[in-house]
């Protein structure tokens, strides 16, 4: 967030992958969840698929078929994860006092509806998640809508740049000057 010569905050242009739409009674902010990891996962998936095809051609008998099917299944699962990550999106919007947060894609798409009157500010926070490989919980950066007696956590799948822009945009559009980022 930067300011004009008169000290009035204005919103900087959105980062790549983020779009903002203004309505007479609200706004909608959309962002892709794409990242470099998606390309790596897709490449790894293709390697597993090729390994499965090669194993099927080189190893004879039932063992060859089993190995080929296993490698192909692993490749297809990884390709599915990469495609879901690539096509997945995040959106938050406001029309009047009604709001929504949507994330995911296709059958995995999830929308949560809420009232903006329940909230009075937004900050960047952290969410504790169980990390089975480490001895302590992992912390994931998130956006947190705050209100009296209610909090709403979202945007954990966005990059830091995109998440911070979403927080600044919501603060800007809702007239909250208490951005805590």
- pTM for the structure as a whole: 0.69
CA neighbor of 155 nearest in space, from 117, 123, 116 = 123
Whether 142 has a pLDDT exceeding 80, the answer reads: yes
pLDDT at 12: 81
pLDDT digits (tens, 9 = 90+) for 14-65: 888 899 998 888 899 998 876 666 667 777 777 777 777 776 666 666 666 7
Q: Spell out the long-range contacts of 106-111 with Cβ–Cβ below 8 A and sequence spacing 24 or more.
A: 108/84
pLDDT digits (tens, 9 = 90+) for 89-140: 889 999 999 999 998 776 677 889 999 989 999 999 988 877 666 667 778 8
């Amino acid at each position: 967030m930067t300011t004009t010569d008169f000290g009035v905050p204005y919103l900087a242009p959105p980062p790549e992958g983020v779009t903002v739409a203004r309505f007479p009674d609200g706004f909608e902010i959309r962002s892709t969840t794409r990242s470099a990891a998606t390309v790596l996962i897709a490449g790894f998936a293709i390697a597993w698929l090729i390994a499965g095809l090669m194993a099927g051609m080189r190893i004879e008998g039932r063992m060859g078929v089993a190995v080929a099917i296993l490698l192909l299944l692993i490749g297809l699962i990884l390709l599915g994860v990469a495609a879901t990550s690539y096509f997945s999106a995040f959106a938050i919007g406001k029309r009047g006092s009604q709001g929504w947060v949507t994330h995911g894609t296709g059958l995995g798409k999830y929308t949560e509806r809420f009232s903006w009157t329940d909230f009075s500010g937004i900050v960047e926070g952290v969410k504790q998640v169980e990390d089975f490989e480490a001895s302590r919980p992992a912390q994931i950066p998130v956006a947190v809508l705050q209100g009296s007696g209610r909090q709403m956590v979202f945007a954990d799948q966005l990059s830091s740049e995109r998440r911070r822009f979403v927080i600044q945009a919501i603060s800007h559009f809702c007239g909250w000057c208490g951005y805590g980022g």
